[in-house]
Amino acid sequence: MAATRTTKVLIIGSGPAGYTAGVYAARAMLEPLLVQGIEPGGQLTTTTEVENWPGDTEVQGPDLMVRMEAHAKAMGCEVVQDIITSVDFSKRPFVAQSDSGTTYVADALILATGARAKWLGLPSEEKFKGFGVSACATCDGFFYRGQEIAVIGGGNTAVEEALFLTNFASKVTLVHRRDELRAEKILQDRLLKNPKIEPLWHHTLEEVIGTDSPLGVEAMRVKHVDTGEEREIPVKGVFVAIGHAPANELVKDVLETHMGGYVVTKPDSTETSIPGVFAAGDLTDHKYRQAVTSAGMGCMAALEAERFLAEQGEDAALEVAAPAAE
Ligand code: FAD
Ligand code: NAP
């Protein structure tokens, strides 16, 4: 029989926002339940060195997330491997359905579903996904030992991926649509000094070219954004790193979103338009999108959920103390 789990606070997502909310909610004695989703640990599990997490000069992303999970559990947060498939926000307690068939019933919700890699939307990109086209260098870089490959994008992710891929590839072409990188200066310096990386400025990827049987990438067709001139460059792999979009599927028809789907919260707060529903991390943050800011918002969400639940308790107590006049 399908199980029902009841909790004061349900946290959806296991990135820095979710685990930090778990630590704070557990320390507030709210006995939170955290559902991890398809990517336990979130986006940082797809990277290697993290150099801007305070207190660690350098830490591996997956290690950091294992430590965050252990921290949340040690404080009393229950961590469950499951995926939330829908939430009924129309009344409280909120009722969430999950992939495992378990129903979660919660007085307050903390949404921390983060963000996911964006794709260019080319048919050839779709065709070769998993067969030479990837959005995760740490996952797939190893397959390209001694090969020539390409990274598309000019942000922190693209530059970090290009640098990481030089551990395996003989050459990495960084295809960027402008001649200025969005990545941090320290990463730009490393990129421009790396002899294995060749930036291809003012170009876009038009097509991934490869074989059908077996499915595999042989080249890419790129276009100069000003002249329109096209050319083919031989590559065995293409890593798309053009940013991330908020994972808002559970809420996009219910909560207000802006700037490409980020959930709107009240100023200086994680409160959404539905009382008792809080949103934290990359799901709401179109501006900073960092582990430390996500963790900060996770903290805020737990503190705000605690305050919300306390106020509900006080209201209920007042109702009991003062029955309605006849
Ligand atoms: P995420 O980390 O995106 O986690 C979202 C969580 O929600 C996941 O656990 C997922 O499983 C879960 N989830 C989603 N949908 C559901 C569902 N339906 N049910 C249940 N769970 C669900 N930031 C830095 O500060 N420093 C760095 O060095 C750095 N490097 C990065 C490198 C890469 C390659 C990438 C992609 C990002 C990097 N970032 C870095 C950004 C950082 O990873 C994010 O800002 C941060 O992870 C966002 O945290 P979050 O908790 O909001 O969400
Ligand atoms: P991002 O900063 O949004 O950069 C996306 C890049 O892809 C930009 O250079 C953009 O070009 C390009 N791009 C977007 N759409 C494109 C398209 N359709 N065709 C071609 N190019 C396209 O995304 P991100 O690099 O994934 O970073 C996301 C967030 O995570 C950021 O806040 C970042 O700081 C954070 N992060 C941090 C670290 C770190 O701290 N070390 C590491 C990774 C990620 P334009 O520049 O022309 O817009």
Q: Which fold has domain 4-117+244-321?
A: FAD/NAD(P)-binding domain (3.50.50)
Tell me what pLDDT residue 322 has. Answer: 59
Residue found by looking up tokens 């930090």 in the block? 20
Q: How far apart are CA 17 and CA 194, in angstroms?
A: 34
Domain spans of the chain, in order of start? 4-117+244-321, 123-240
Sheet order of strands, 215-224 included: 203-212, 215-224, 230-234
User: To 10 degrees, what angle do helices 156-165 and 185-193 make?
Assistant: 30
Residue 19, by phi and psi: left (phi above 0), alpha (psi -120 to 50) or beta? alpha
Count of CB atoms situated within 10 Å of the CB of 35: 26
Amino acid at position 155, single letter: G
Active site residue 77: no
Ligand 1, atom 20, residue with closest C-alpha = 37
Q: Is 136 a catalytic residue?
A: yes
Ligand 2 atom 23, closest CA: 243
Write out pLDDT tens, residues 222-279.
999 999 999 999 999 999 999 999 999 999 999 999 999 999 999 999 999 999 999 9
**Residue 13 beta carbon below 6 angstroms from any ligand 1 atom:** yes
The rounded distance, in Å, linking the Cα atoms of 110 and 25 is 10
**Rounded distance between C-alpha atoms, residue 294 and residue 285, angstroms:** 8
Does ligand 2 come within 6 angstroms of the Cβ of 155? yes
Q: Is the peptide bond before 214 cis (omega within 30 degrees of 0)?
A: yes
Question: Does the Cβ of 112 fall within 6 Å of ligand 1?
Answer: yes
Q: How many CB atoms lie within 10 A of CB 211?
A: 12
**Higher-confidence position of 17 and 287:** 17
Which of 43, 249, 300 for mutating ligand 1's site (highest number of atoms within 8 Å of CB)? 43
Q: What is the per-residue pLDDT across 26-41, written as a single tens digit (0 to 9) for each?
A: 999 999 999 999 999 9
Given a cut of 50, whether residue 217 has pLDDT beyond it is yes
CA of 94 to the centre of ligand 2 (A): 35
CA–centroid distance, residue 38 to ligand 1 (Å): 12
CATH fold, domain 123-240, is FAD/NAD(P)-binding domain (3.50.50)
Residue-wise pLDDT tens digits, 4-31: 999 999 999 999 999 999 999 999 999 9
- 139-170 pLDDT tens trace: 889 999 999 999 999 999 999 999 999 999 99
Q: Give the model's pLDDT for residue 138.
A: 85
289 lines ligand 1 (CB under 6 A): yes
Residue 326's pLDDT band (cuts 50, 70, 90):
very low
Under 8 Å between Cβ of 143 and 44: no
Q: Tell me if residue 179 is catalytic.
A: no
The closest alpha carbon to 157, from 235, 236, 240, belongs to 240
Q: Are 200 and 184 in contact (CB under 8 A)?
A: no
CA separation, residue 251 to residues 58, 97, 255 (Å): 35, 13, 6
Ligand 1 neighbourhood includes 138 CB (under 6 angstroms): no
Residue of 113, 139, 283, 288 to mutate, ligand 1, most atoms within 8 A of C-beta? 113
Residue nearest to atom 22 of ligand 1 (CA): 37
